[in-house]
Structure 1
Protein backbone atom coordinates (compact mmCIF):
# COMPACT_ATOMS: atom_id res chain seq x y z
CA UNK A 1 0.00 0.00 0.00
CA UNK A 2 1.20 3.49 -0.81
CA UNK A 3 -0.32 6.96 -0.66
CA UNK A 4 -1.42 7.43 -4.25
CA UNK A 5 -4.02 10.20 -4.00
CA UNK A 6 -4.09 13.62 -2.42
CA UNK A 7 -6.57 14.35 0.32
CA UNK A 8 -10.06 14.81 -1.07
CA UNK A 9 -11.33 16.27 2.17
CA UNK A 10 -9.89 17.59 5.40
CA UNK A 11 -11.45 18.89 8.59
CA UNK A 12 -14.85 17.94 7.23
CA UNK A 13 -14.43 20.11 4.13
CA UNK A 14 -13.75 19.17 0.50
CA UNK A 15 -10.19 19.88 -0.59
CA UNK A 16 -9.62 22.56 -3.23
CA UNK A 17 -6.19 23.08 -4.80
CA UNK A 18 -5.12 26.69 -5.20
CA UNK A 19 -3.95 27.20 -8.82
CA UNK A 20 -0.25 26.79 -9.46
CA UNK A 21 1.98 29.34 -11.09
CA UNK A 22 1.77 27.47 -14.40
CA UNK A 23 -2.03 27.46 -14.42
CA UNK A 24 -3.88 30.05 -16.49
CA UNK A 25 -4.59 33.22 -14.54
CA UNK A 26 -7.46 32.12 -12.31
CA UNK A 27 -10.79 33.87 -12.15
CA UNK A 28 -10.86 34.71 -8.48
CA UNK A 29 -14.61 35.22 -8.68
CA UNK A 30 -14.96 31.52 -9.52
CA UNK A 31 -13.21 30.39 -6.34
CA UNK A 32 -15.32 28.68 -3.68
CA UNK A 33 -16.13 30.72 -0.62
CA UNK A 34 -13.08 30.77 1.66
CA UNK A 35 -14.74 28.93 4.55
CA UNK A 36 -16.32 26.19 2.40
CA UNK A 37 -13.19 24.21 1.45
CA UNK A 38 -9.83 23.03 2.75
CA UNK A 39 -7.37 25.02 0.65
CA UNK A 40 -4.42 23.02 -0.67
CA UNK A 41 -1.29 25.00 -1.52
CA UNK A 42 1.46 23.05 -3.28
CA UNK A 43 4.27 23.30 -5.83
CA UNK A 44 6.07 20.69 -7.89
CA UNK A 45 8.34 18.58 -5.73
CA UNK A 46 10.81 18.19 -8.62
CA UNK A 47 12.32 21.18 -10.43
CA UNK A 48 9.63 23.56 -9.25
CA UNK A 49 9.43 26.95 -10.95
CA UNK A 50 8.01 28.45 -7.77
CA UNK A 51 8.86 28.06 -4.12
CA UNK A 52 6.06 27.07 -1.76
CA UNK A 53 6.35 30.36 0.11
CA UNK A 54 5.71 32.28 -3.14
CA UNK A 55 2.64 30.15 -3.89
CA UNK A 56 1.40 30.80 -0.36
CA UNK A 57 1.96 34.54 -0.80
CA UNK A 58 -0.22 34.44 -3.93
CA UNK A 59 -2.85 32.55 -1.96
CA UNK A 60 -2.83 35.17 0.79
CA UNK A 61 -3.45 37.91 -1.76
CA UNK A 62 -6.11 36.11 -3.79
CA UNK A 63 -8.28 34.67 -1.01
CA UNK A 64 -9.99 36.30 1.95
CA UNK A 65 -7.91 34.31 4.39
CA UNK A 66 -9.69 35.73 7.43
CA UNK A 67 -12.49 33.29 6.55
CA UNK A 68 -10.31 30.23 5.78
CA UNK A 69 -11.03 27.35 8.17
CA UNK A 70 -8.74 24.63 6.82
CA UNK A 71 -5.38 24.62 5.06
CA UNK A 72 -3.49 21.72 3.51
CA UNK A 73 0.23 22.08 2.78
CA UNK A 74 1.13 20.03 -0.27
CA UNK A 75 4.59 19.40 -1.67
CA UNK A 76 7.31 22.01 -1.38
CA UNK A 77 10.39 22.17 -3.60
CA UNK A 78 12.65 19.11 -3.24
CA UNK A 79 10.41 17.68 -0.51
CA UNK A 80 12.45 14.47 -0.63
CA UNK A 81 15.60 16.13 0.74
CA UNK A 82 14.68 19.65 1.94
CA UNK A 83 12.97 20.28 5.29
CA UNK A 84 9.93 22.59 5.38
CA UNK A 85 11.63 25.26 7.48
CA UNK A 86 10.62 28.11 5.14
CA UNK A 87 7.12 26.67 4.83
CA UNK A 88 6.70 26.68 8.60
CA UNK A 89 8.15 30.19 8.86
CA UNK A 90 5.70 31.47 6.22
CA UNK A 91 2.74 29.90 8.02
CA UNK A 92 3.78 31.29 11.39
CA UNK A 93 4.30 34.75 9.88
CA UNK A 94 0.78 34.64 8.45
CA UNK A 95 -0.98 33.61 11.65
CA UNK A 96 -2.73 36.99 12.07
CA UNK A 97 -4.13 36.65 8.54
CA UNK A 98 -5.67 33.26 9.39
CA UNK A 99 -7.75 33.94 12.52
CA UNK A 100 -10.43 31.38 11.59
CA UNK A 101 -8.00 28.53 10.86
CA UNK A 102 -9.09 25.37 12.66
CA UNK A 103 -7.53 22.60 10.56
CA UNK A 104 -3.94 22.30 9.30
CA UNK A 105 -2.29 19.38 7.50
CA UNK A 106 1.41 19.42 6.61
CA UNK A 107 2.73 17.38 3.66
CA UNK A 108 -0.15 16.08 1.60
CA UNK A 109 2.47 14.40 -0.56
CA UNK A 110 1.79 11.31 -2.67
CA UNK A 111 4.14 8.61 -3.95
CA UNK A 112 4.75 10.31 -7.32
CA UNK A 113 6.08 13.34 -5.45
CA UNK A 114 7.96 11.44 -2.74
CA UNK A 115 7.38 8.16 -0.95
CA UNK A 116 6.16 8.72 2.60
CA UNK A 117 9.47 7.81 4.21
CA UNK A 118 11.38 10.05 1.79
CA UNK A 119 9.52 13.18 2.88
CA UNK A 120 11.93 15.37 4.83
CA UNK A 121 10.07 16.84 7.78
CA UNK A 122 10.76 19.47 10.42
CA UNK A 123 9.69 20.83 13.80
CA UNK A 124 5.91 20.96 14.25
CA UNK A 125 6.13 22.82 17.56
CA UNK A 126 6.07 26.36 16.14
CA UNK A 127 2.89 25.66 14.19
CA UNK A 128 0.98 24.42 17.21
CA UNK A 129 2.21 27.37 19.21
CA UNK A 130 1.30 29.89 16.49
CA UNK A 131 -2.24 28.57 16.04
CA UNK A 132 -3.74 28.03 19.50
CA UNK A 133 -7.27 27.72 18.07
CA UNK A 134 -6.49 24.71 15.88
CA UNK A 135 -8.92 21.83 16.33
CA UNK A 136 -7.25 19.39 13.91
CA UNK A 137 -3.60 18.94 13.00
CA UNK A 138 -2.05 16.36 10.73
CA UNK A 139 1.43 15.67 9.42
CA UNK A 140 2.80 13.09 6.96
CA UNK A 141 6.38 11.80 6.93
CA UNK A 142 8.69 10.75 9.75
CA UNK A 143 12.14 11.53 8.35
CA UNK A 144 13.60 14.22 10.66
CA UNK A 145 10.17 14.80 12.19
CA UNK A 146 10.30 16.77 15.43
CA UNK A 147 7.27 16.91 17.70
CA UNK A 148 8.11 18.52 21.03
CA UNK A 149 5.91 18.23 24.08
CA UNK A 150 3.30 20.98 23.86
CA UNK A 151 0.20 22.15 25.64
CA UNK A 152 -2.67 22.92 23.31
CA UNK A 153 -6.05 23.70 24.80
CA UNK A 154 -8.30 23.22 21.76
CA UNK A 155 -6.78 20.50 19.59
CA UNK A 156 -9.34 17.73 19.13
CA UNK A 157 -7.72 15.54 16.48
CA UNK A 158 -4.05 14.74 15.90
CA UNK A 159 -2.80 12.53 13.06
CA UNK A 160 0.82 11.58 12.38
CA UNK A 161 1.30 9.41 9.29
CA UNK A 162 4.73 7.84 8.92
CA UNK A 163 6.53 4.77 7.68
CA UNK A 164 8.73 5.17 10.73
CA UNK A 165 7.97 7.61 13.56
CA UNK A 166 11.06 8.61 15.56
CA UNK A 167 10.90 7.61 19.22
CA UNK A 168 11.68 11.18 20.25
CA UNK A 169 8.60 12.41 18.36
CA UNK A 170 6.47 9.67 19.94
CA UNK A 171 7.70 10.74 23.35
CA UNK A 172 6.91 14.36 22.50
CA UNK A 173 3.30 13.53 21.66
CA UNK A 174 3.03 11.33 24.75
CA UNK A 175 4.29 14.13 26.99
CA UNK A 176 1.96 16.75 25.50
CA UNK A 177 -0.99 18.13 27.44
CA UNK A 178 -3.96 17.94 25.08
CA UNK A 179 -7.05 18.22 27.30
CA UNK A 180 -9.54 18.54 24.41
CA UNK A 181 -8.10 15.76 22.22
CA UNK A 182 -10.70 13.14 21.29
CA UNK A 183 -8.92 11.46 18.35
CA UNK A 184 -5.26 10.38 18.28
CA UNK A 185 -3.94 8.54 15.20
CA UNK A 186 -0.27 7.53 15.06
CA UNK A 187 1.27 5.50 12.24
CA UNK A 188 4.34 4.14 14.02
CA UNK A 189 6.00 2.37 11.09
CA UNK A 190 9.12 0.23 11.12
CA UNK A 191 12.69 0.43 12.39
CA UNK A 192 13.93 0.21 8.80
CA UNK A 193 12.51 3.69 8.20
CA UNK A 194 13.24 5.24 11.58
CA UNK A 195 10.37 3.90 13.69
CA UNK A 196 12.38 3.13 16.81
CA UNK A 197 9.75 3.65 19.54
CA UNK A 198 9.39 0.88 22.09
CA UNK A 199 6.62 -0.06 24.48
CA UNK A 200 7.93 2.22 27.21
CA UNK A 201 7.49 5.18 24.86
CA UNK A 202 3.85 4.21 24.30
CA UNK A 203 2.95 3.68 27.95
CA UNK A 204 1.51 7.22 28.45
CA UNK A 205 -1.04 6.52 25.71
CA UNK A 206 -2.18 3.36 27.48
CA UNK A 207 -2.62 5.28 30.73
CA UNK A 208 -4.30 8.18 28.95
CA UNK A 209 -3.81 10.58 31.83
CA UNK A 210 -2.78 13.50 29.59
CA UNK A 211 -5.65 12.80 27.21
CA UNK A 212 -8.75 12.97 29.41
CA UNK A 213 -11.19 13.50 26.50
CA UNK A 214 -9.85 10.74 24.23
CA UNK A 215 -12.48 8.51 22.61
CA UNK A 216 -10.60 7.20 19.54
CA UNK A 217 -7.09 5.76 19.77
CA UNK A 218 -5.20 4.51 16.74
CA UNK A 219 -1.75 3.01 17.25
CA UNK A 220 -1.20 1.37 13.90
CA UNK A 221 1.01 0.60 10.90
CA UNK A 222 3.49 -0.90 13.37
CA UNK A 223 5.79 -3.91 13.37
CA UNK A 224 5.18 -4.24 17.15
CA UNK A 225 1.40 -4.52 16.78
CA UNK A 226 1.20 -7.71 18.87
CA UNK A 227 2.93 -6.05 21.82
CA UNK A 228 0.67 -3.01 21.47
CA UNK A 229 -2.42 -5.22 21.60
CA UNK A 230 -1.08 -7.11 24.62
CA UNK A 231 -0.67 -3.79 26.45
CA UNK A 232 -4.11 -2.56 25.37
CA UNK A 233 -5.65 -5.71 26.86
CA UNK A 234 -5.25 -4.15 30.31
CA UNK A 235 -4.73 -0.46 29.46
CA UNK A 236 -6.86 1.96 31.53
CA UNK A 237 -7.55 4.18 28.49
CA UNK A 238 -9.53 1.47 26.68
CA UNK A 239 -12.50 1.63 29.04
CA UNK A 240 -13.42 5.12 27.84
CA UNK A 241 -12.81 4.63 24.13
CA UNK A 242 -15.52 4.26 21.53
CA UNK A 243 -13.08 3.37 18.73
CA UNK A 244 -9.83 1.40 18.83
CA UNK A 245 -7.65 1.07 15.74
CA UNK A 246 -4.74 -1.38 15.62
CA UNK A 247 -4.81 -1.82 11.84
CA UNK A 248 -2.17 -1.75 9.10
CA UNK A 249 0.52 -3.48 11.12
CA UNK A 250 2.05 -6.87 11.81
CA UNK A 251 -0.85 -8.22 13.86
CA UNK A 252 -0.88 -11.98 14.41
CA UNK A 253 -3.01 -14.39 16.43
CA UNK A 254 -0.93 -13.60 19.53
CA UNK A 255 -1.96 -9.94 19.60
CA UNK A 256 -5.58 -10.55 18.69
CA UNK A 257 -5.91 -13.30 21.31
CA UNK A 258 -4.50 -10.95 23.93
CA UNK A 259 -7.24 -8.46 23.09
CA UNK A 260 -9.92 -11.13 23.24
CA UNK A 261 -8.81 -12.49 26.61
CA UNK A 262 -8.14 -9.08 28.18
CA UNK A 263 -10.58 -6.49 29.44
CA UNK A 264 -14.02 -6.35 27.81
CA UNK A 265 -14.26 -4.60 24.44
CA UNK A 266 -18.01 -4.84 24.02
CA UNK A 267 -18.44 -1.14 24.85
CA UNK A 268 -16.61 -0.14 21.67
CA UNK A 269 -18.44 1.07 18.59
CA UNK A 270 -15.57 0.16 16.27
CA UNK A 271 -12.53 -2.12 16.40
CA UNK A 272 -10.32 -1.86 13.32
CA UNK A 273 -7.74 -4.57 12.64
CA UNK A 274 -7.60 -4.42 8.84
CA UNK A 275 -4.33 -5.49 7.15
CA UNK A 276 -3.50 -8.33 9.52
CA UNK A 277 -1.93 -11.77 9.68
CA UNK A 278 -4.71 -13.50 11.59
CA UNK A 279 -5.80 -17.08 11.10
CA UNK A 280 -9.40 -17.71 10.01
CA UNK A 281 -10.17 -19.17 13.44
CA UNK A 282 -9.05 -16.10 15.38
CA UNK A 283 -10.77 -13.75 12.94
CA UNK A 284 -13.96 -15.71 13.43
CA UNK A 285 -13.62 -15.56 17.21
CA UNK A 286 -13.29 -11.78 17.10
CA UNK A 287 -16.42 -11.43 15.02
CA UNK A 288 -18.42 -13.96 17.03
CA UNK A 289 -17.46 -12.33 20.32
CA UNK A 290 -17.89 -8.68 19.47
CA UNK A 291 -20.39 -8.26 16.66
CA UNK A 292 -23.37 -9.56 18.69
CA UNK A 293 -22.60 -6.78 21.19
CA UNK A 294 -22.89 -4.18 18.43
CA UNK A 295 -19.19 -3.64 17.82
CA UNK A 296 -18.26 -2.91 14.20
CA UNK A 297 -15.19 -5.12 13.62
CA UNK A 298 -12.94 -4.90 10.56
CA UNK A 299 -10.71 -7.96 10.13
CA UNK A 300 -10.11 -7.59 6.39
CA UNK A 301 -6.65 -8.86 5.48
CA UNK A 302 -6.37 -6.57 2.42
CA UNK A 303 -2.81 -6.79 1.03
CA UNK A 304 -1.21 -8.38 4.12
CA UNK A 305 0.78 -11.22 2.57
CA UNK A 306 3.59 -13.00 4.38
CA UNK A 307 6.73 -14.05 2.51
CA UNK A 308 8.85 -17.09 3.33
CA UNK A 309 12.51 -17.11 2.31
CA UNK A 310 14.62 -20.11 1.35
CA UNK A 311 15.56 -20.69 4.99
CA UNK A 312 11.92 -20.97 6.04
CA UNK A 313 11.84 -17.59 7.81
CA UNK A 314 8.50 -15.80 7.48
CA UNK A 315 8.48 -12.06 6.77
CA UNK A 316 5.50 -9.85 7.52
CA UNK A 317 5.12 -6.20 6.63
CA UNK A 318 3.24 -3.09 7.71
CA UNK A 319 0.85 -1.53 5.23
CA UNK A 320 2.94 1.61 4.63
CA UNK A 321 6.71 1.40 5.13
CA UNK A 322 8.65 3.20 2.44
Structure 2
Protein backbone atom coordinates (compact mmCIF):
# COMPACT_ATOMS: atom_id res chain seq x y z
CA UNK A 1 0.00 0.00 0.00
CA UNK A 2 1.49 3.35 -1.08
CA UNK A 3 1.79 6.37 1.17
CA UNK A 4 -0.75 8.26 -0.93
CA UNK A 5 -3.31 5.49 -0.51
CA UNK A 6 -2.74 5.47 3.24
CA UNK A 7 -3.31 9.23 3.41
CA UNK A 8 -6.44 9.01 1.25
CA UNK A 9 -7.93 6.26 3.41
CA UNK A 10 -7.18 8.24 6.56
CA UNK A 11 -8.78 11.40 5.15
CA UNK A 12 -11.90 9.58 3.91
CA UNK A 13 -12.30 7.79 7.24
CA UNK A 14 -11.95 11.04 9.17
CA UNK A 15 -14.50 12.79 6.95
CA UNK A 16 -16.94 9.90 7.34
CA UNK A 17 -16.43 9.99 11.11
CA UNK A 18 -17.19 13.71 11.20
CA UNK A 19 -20.20 13.60 8.85
CA UNK A 20 -22.07 10.38 9.73
CA UNK A 21 -22.68 11.21 13.43
CA UNK A 22 -24.12 14.57 12.33
CA UNK A 23 -26.41 12.75 9.86
CA UNK A 24 -27.59 10.47 12.67
CA UNK A 25 -28.16 13.48 14.91
CA UNK A 26 -30.23 15.23 12.25
CA UNK A 27 -32.16 12.01 11.64
CA UNK A 28 -32.92 11.73 15.35
CA UNK A 29 -34.32 15.26 15.36
CA UNK A 30 -36.63 14.47 12.46
CA UNK A 31 -37.72 10.98 13.54
CA UNK A 32 -38.53 12.14 17.07
CA UNK A 33 -40.33 15.23 15.73
CA UNK A 34 -42.58 13.08 13.55
CA UNK A 35 -43.23 10.37 16.13
CA UNK A 36 -43.89 12.75 19.03
CA UNK A 37 -45.58 15.57 17.12
CA UNK A 38 -42.83 18.05 18.04
CA UNK A 39 -42.94 21.15 15.86
CA UNK A 40 -39.69 22.79 17.03
CA UNK A 41 -37.24 20.82 14.85
CA UNK A 42 -39.40 21.56 11.78
CA UNK A 43 -38.91 25.34 11.75
CA UNK A 44 -35.18 26.17 11.76
CA UNK A 45 -34.07 27.05 8.22
CA UNK A 46 -37.45 26.87 6.56
CA UNK A 47 -38.18 23.73 4.55
CA UNK A 48 -38.61 20.80 6.96
CA UNK A 49 -36.24 22.42 9.46
CA UNK A 50 -33.12 21.61 7.44
CA UNK A 51 -30.95 23.96 9.56
CA UNK A 52 -31.84 22.49 12.95
CA UNK A 53 -28.40 20.89 13.29
CA UNK A 54 -26.72 24.19 12.37
CA UNK A 55 -28.81 25.98 14.99
CA UNK A 56 -27.76 23.45 17.63
CA UNK A 57 -24.10 23.92 16.69
CA UNK A 58 -24.36 27.71 16.99
CA UNK A 59 -26.08 27.30 20.35
CA UNK A 60 -23.25 25.15 21.74
CA UNK A 61 -20.56 27.54 20.43
CA UNK A 62 -22.24 30.51 22.11
CA UNK A 63 -22.51 28.86 25.51
CA UNK A 64 -19.91 29.70 28.14
CA UNK A 65 -17.25 27.06 28.78
CA UNK A 66 -17.25 26.55 32.56
CA UNK A 67 -14.87 24.40 34.61
CA UNK A 68 -15.91 23.86 38.26
CA UNK A 69 -13.48 25.41 40.73
CA UNK A 70 -12.92 22.10 42.57
CA UNK A 71 -12.66 19.97 39.45
CA UNK A 72 -9.53 18.09 38.44
CA UNK A 73 -8.99 20.42 35.48
CA UNK A 74 -6.78 18.28 33.23
CA UNK A 75 -8.91 15.16 33.62
CA UNK A 76 -12.09 17.23 33.26
CA UNK A 77 -10.90 18.73 29.97
CA UNK A 78 -9.53 15.48 28.53
CA UNK A 79 -12.67 13.39 29.23
CA UNK A 80 -14.70 14.45 26.12
CA UNK A 81 -11.83 13.50 23.80
CA UNK A 82 -11.28 10.16 25.56
CA UNK A 83 -14.98 9.39 25.09
CA UNK A 84 -14.91 10.26 21.37
CA UNK A 85 -11.59 8.98 19.99
CA UNK A 86 -12.19 5.21 20.57
CA UNK A 87 -15.09 5.29 18.12
CA UNK A 88 -12.82 6.87 15.50
CA UNK A 89 -10.38 4.00 16.04
CA UNK A 90 -13.18 1.42 15.83
CA UNK A 91 -14.66 2.71 12.57
CA UNK A 92 -11.26 2.34 10.88
CA UNK A 93 -11.57 -1.46 10.76
CA UNK A 94 -15.24 -1.76 9.69
CA UNK A 95 -15.48 -2.50 5.94
CA UNK A 96 -18.00 -0.68 3.75
CA UNK A 97 -17.41 -2.98 0.80
CA UNK A 98 -14.84 -5.41 -0.64
CA UNK A 99 -11.51 -3.73 0.13
CA UNK A 100 -13.20 -0.52 1.30
CA UNK A 101 -11.71 -0.39 4.78
CA UNK A 102 -9.15 1.96 6.31
CA UNK A 103 -7.28 -0.83 8.13
CA UNK A 104 -7.89 -4.50 7.43
CA UNK A 105 -7.35 -6.25 10.78
CA UNK A 106 -7.48 -10.04 11.01
CA UNK A 107 -9.25 -9.92 14.38
CA UNK A 108 -11.44 -6.96 13.46
CA UNK A 109 -14.41 -8.12 15.56
CA UNK A 110 -12.32 -8.19 18.74
CA UNK A 111 -10.69 -4.88 17.82
CA UNK A 112 -14.06 -3.09 17.58
CA UNK A 113 -15.22 -4.57 20.90
CA UNK A 114 -12.00 -3.50 22.61
CA UNK A 115 -12.03 0.01 21.14
CA UNK A 116 -15.70 0.63 21.96
CA UNK A 117 -15.13 -0.54 25.53
CA UNK A 118 -12.45 2.11 26.05
CA UNK A 119 -14.99 4.90 25.57
CA UNK A 120 -16.38 4.30 29.06
CA UNK A 121 -13.14 5.74 30.44
CA UNK A 122 -14.23 9.18 29.21
CA UNK A 123 -17.44 8.90 31.22
CA UNK A 124 -15.58 7.72 34.32
CA UNK A 125 -13.08 10.55 33.97
CA UNK A 126 -15.89 13.09 33.59
CA UNK A 127 -17.73 11.84 36.68
CA UNK A 128 -14.62 11.64 38.86
CA UNK A 129 -13.13 14.99 37.80
CA UNK A 130 -16.33 17.02 38.12
CA UNK A 131 -16.26 17.08 41.94
CA UNK A 132 -20.01 16.48 41.86
CA UNK A 133 -21.76 13.61 43.62
CA UNK A 134 -24.42 13.33 40.93
CA UNK A 135 -21.72 13.11 38.25
CA UNK A 136 -19.80 10.46 40.20
CA UNK A 137 -22.97 8.42 40.72
CA UNK A 138 -23.77 8.61 36.99
CA UNK A 139 -20.28 7.47 36.01
CA UNK A 140 -20.46 4.52 38.44
CA UNK A 141 -23.79 3.51 36.94
CA UNK A 142 -22.18 3.67 33.49
CA UNK A 143 -19.35 1.38 34.58
CA UNK A 144 -21.75 -1.14 36.15
CA UNK A 145 -23.90 -1.09 33.02
CA UNK A 146 -20.88 -1.68 30.76
CA UNK A 147 -19.66 -4.62 32.83
CA UNK A 148 -23.12 -6.21 32.80
CA UNK A 149 -23.79 -5.91 29.06
CA UNK A 150 -20.29 -6.51 27.73
CA UNK A 151 -20.61 -10.25 28.31
CA UNK A 152 -23.76 -10.89 26.19
CA UNK A 153 -22.32 -8.66 23.46
CA UNK A 154 -19.03 -10.59 23.35
CA UNK A 155 -20.87 -13.94 23.38
CA UNK A 156 -23.12 -12.90 20.48
CA UNK A 157 -20.10 -11.75 18.45
CA UNK A 158 -18.35 -15.03 19.27
CA UNK A 159 -21.37 -16.92 17.92
CA UNK A 160 -21.13 -15.15 14.55
CA UNK A 161 -17.37 -15.59 14.42
CA UNK A 162 -17.78 -19.31 15.14
CA UNK A 163 -20.34 -19.64 12.35
CA UNK A 164 -18.08 -17.80 9.88
CA UNK A 165 -14.87 -19.45 11.04
CA UNK A 166 -13.04 -16.12 11.29
CA UNK A 167 -12.76 -12.96 13.38
CA UNK A 168 -12.13 -10.83 10.30
CA UNK A 169 -15.08 -8.56 9.57
CA UNK A 170 -14.54 -8.89 5.84
CA UNK A 171 -14.36 -12.66 6.21
CA UNK A 172 -17.61 -12.70 8.19
CA UNK A 173 -19.41 -10.83 5.40
CA UNK A 174 -18.02 -13.20 2.75
CA UNK A 175 -19.23 -16.25 4.72
CA UNK A 176 -22.64 -14.73 5.51
CA UNK A 177 -25.78 -16.45 4.23
CA UNK A 178 -29.37 -15.15 4.27
CA UNK A 179 -30.50 -18.03 6.48
CA UNK A 180 -28.23 -16.61 9.20
CA UNK A 181 -31.02 -14.07 9.74
CA UNK A 182 -32.87 -16.90 11.47
CA UNK A 183 -29.90 -18.94 12.74
CA UNK A 184 -28.24 -15.96 14.47
CA UNK A 185 -31.44 -14.13 15.43
CA UNK A 186 -31.08 -14.71 19.22
CA UNK A 187 -27.50 -13.43 19.02
CA UNK A 188 -28.66 -10.39 17.07
CA UNK A 189 -31.23 -9.60 19.76
CA UNK A 190 -28.60 -9.94 22.49
CA UNK A 191 -26.12 -7.77 20.58
CA UNK A 192 -28.63 -5.05 19.78
CA UNK A 193 -29.89 -4.86 23.37
CA UNK A 194 -26.35 -4.81 24.77
CA UNK A 195 -25.34 -2.11 22.28
CA UNK A 196 -28.22 0.09 23.45
CA UNK A 197 -27.10 -0.41 27.04
CA UNK A 198 -23.43 0.35 26.31
CA UNK A 199 -24.40 3.49 24.44
CA UNK A 200 -26.63 4.45 27.40
CA UNK A 201 -29.51 4.97 25.01
CA UNK A 202 -33.13 4.73 26.21
CA UNK A 203 -34.48 2.60 27.74
CA UNK A 204 -31.01 2.03 29.25
CA UNK A 205 -30.27 5.67 30.15
CA UNK A 206 -30.16 5.32 33.94
CA UNK A 207 -26.62 6.84 34.06
CA UNK A 208 -28.10 10.12 32.77
CA UNK A 209 -31.48 9.94 34.50
CA UNK A 210 -32.37 13.64 34.65
CA UNK A 211 -35.14 13.06 37.21
CA UNK A 212 -32.64 11.53 39.67
CA UNK A 213 -29.07 12.65 38.99
CA UNK A 214 -29.51 15.73 36.76
CA UNK A 215 -27.48 14.52 33.75
CA UNK A 216 -25.10 12.05 35.29
CA UNK A 217 -21.41 12.33 34.51
CA UNK A 218 -22.03 15.22 32.11
CA UNK A 219 -23.84 17.52 34.57
CA UNK A 220 -20.98 20.03 34.92
CA UNK A 221 -20.16 20.22 31.19
CA UNK A 222 -21.23 23.15 29.02
CA UNK A 223 -20.67 24.48 25.52
CA UNK A 224 -18.42 22.58 23.14
CA UNK A 225 -17.24 20.10 25.76
CA UNK A 226 -20.82 18.94 26.27
CA UNK A 227 -21.27 18.87 22.49
CA UNK A 228 -18.30 16.49 22.26
CA UNK A 229 -20.10 14.04 24.55
CA UNK A 230 -23.20 14.25 22.35
CA UNK A 231 -21.01 13.70 19.28
CA UNK A 232 -19.48 10.65 21.00
CA UNK A 233 -22.98 9.27 21.58
CA UNK A 234 -23.91 9.66 17.92
CA UNK A 235 -20.52 8.28 16.84
CA UNK A 236 -21.24 5.25 19.02
CA UNK A 237 -24.58 4.78 17.26
CA UNK A 238 -22.77 4.91 13.90
CA UNK A 239 -20.13 2.37 14.94
CA UNK A 240 -22.62 -0.05 16.50
CA UNK A 241 -24.97 0.25 13.52
CA UNK A 242 -22.18 -0.62 11.07
CA UNK A 243 -20.90 -3.37 13.35
CA UNK A 244 -24.39 -4.90 13.61
CA UNK A 245 -24.79 -4.63 9.82
CA UNK A 246 -21.53 -6.48 9.18
CA UNK A 247 -22.20 -9.20 11.75
CA UNK A 248 -25.89 -9.96 11.26
CA UNK A 249 -27.14 -8.29 8.05
CA UNK A 250 -24.47 -9.33 5.57
CA UNK A 251 -22.66 -5.99 5.27
CA UNK A 252 -22.27 -5.12 1.59
CA UNK A 253 -24.07 -8.27 0.39
CA UNK A 254 -27.11 -7.37 -1.71
CA UNK A 255 -29.00 -8.23 -4.90
CA UNK A 256 -26.62 -6.21 -7.08
CA UNK A 257 -22.92 -6.38 -7.81
CA UNK A 258 -20.54 -6.02 -4.86
CA UNK A 259 -19.02 -2.94 -6.56
CA UNK A 260 -21.94 -0.91 -5.17
CA UNK A 261 -22.01 -2.88 -1.93
CA UNK A 262 -21.02 0.17 0.11
CA UNK A 263 -24.45 1.61 -0.68
CA UNK A 264 -26.11 -1.43 0.90
CA UNK A 265 -23.88 -1.13 3.96
CA UNK A 266 -24.84 2.52 4.41
CA UNK A 267 -28.56 1.86 3.94
CA UNK A 268 -28.60 -1.07 6.36
CA UNK A 269 -26.62 0.86 8.97
CA UNK A 270 -28.96 3.85 8.65
CA UNK A 271 -31.94 1.54 9.14
CA UNK A 272 -30.39 0.15 12.33
CA UNK A 273 -29.73 3.71 13.55
CA UNK A 274 -33.38 4.62 12.93
CA UNK A 275 -34.48 1.61 15.00
CA UNK A 276 -32.20 2.79 17.83
CA UNK A 277 -33.88 6.21 17.66
CA UNK A 278 -37.29 4.55 17.55
CA UNK A 279 -36.51 2.75 20.82
CA UNK A 280 -35.76 6.11 22.44
CA UNK A 281 -39.20 7.40 21.51
CA UNK A 282 -41.15 4.26 22.36
CA UNK A 283 -39.77 2.71 25.56
CA UNK A 284 -39.76 4.08 29.12
CA UNK A 285 -36.57 4.05 31.16
CA UNK A 286 -35.76 0.84 33.05
CA UNK A 287 -35.02 0.84 36.77
CA UNK A 288 -31.50 -0.15 37.79
CA UNK A 289 -32.64 -3.54 39.14
CA UNK A 290 -34.62 -4.25 35.95
CA UNK A 291 -31.60 -3.31 33.87
CA UNK A 292 -29.28 -5.69 35.72
CA UNK A 293 -31.87 -8.49 35.77
CA UNK A 294 -32.32 -8.25 32.00
CA UNK A 295 -28.57 -8.65 31.49
CA UNK A 296 -27.82 -11.51 33.87
CA UNK A 297 -31.10 -13.45 33.95
CA UNK A 298 -32.07 -13.21 30.29
CA UNK A 299 -29.38 -12.00 27.89
CA UNK A 300 -26.37 -13.93 29.22
CA UNK A 301 -28.17 -17.33 29.24
CA UNK A 302 -29.69 -16.61 25.81
CA UNK A 303 -26.28 -15.71 24.39
CA UNK A 304 -24.73 -18.87 25.88
CA UNK A 305 -27.49 -21.03 24.39
CA UNK A 306 -27.00 -19.34 21.01
CA UNK A 307 -23.25 -19.98 21.17
CA UNK A 308 -23.84 -23.66 21.99
CA UNK A 309 -26.38 -24.05 19.16
CA UNK A 310 -24.00 -22.36 16.73
CA UNK A 311 -21.21 -24.74 17.73
CA UNK A 312 -23.51 -27.71 17.23
CA UNK A 313 -24.62 -26.37 13.86
CA UNK A 314 -21.04 -25.90 12.71
CA UNK A 315 -20.18 -29.49 13.70
CA UNK A 316 -23.26 -30.93 11.95
CA UNK A 317 -23.06 -28.94 8.69
CA UNK A 318 -19.30 -28.97 8.27
Query: Shorter-chain TM-score: what band?
Result: under 0.3
Larger strand percent: 1
Q: Which has the higher contact order (CA 8 A, sep 6+)?
A: 2
TM-score (structure 1 length as normaliser): 0.22
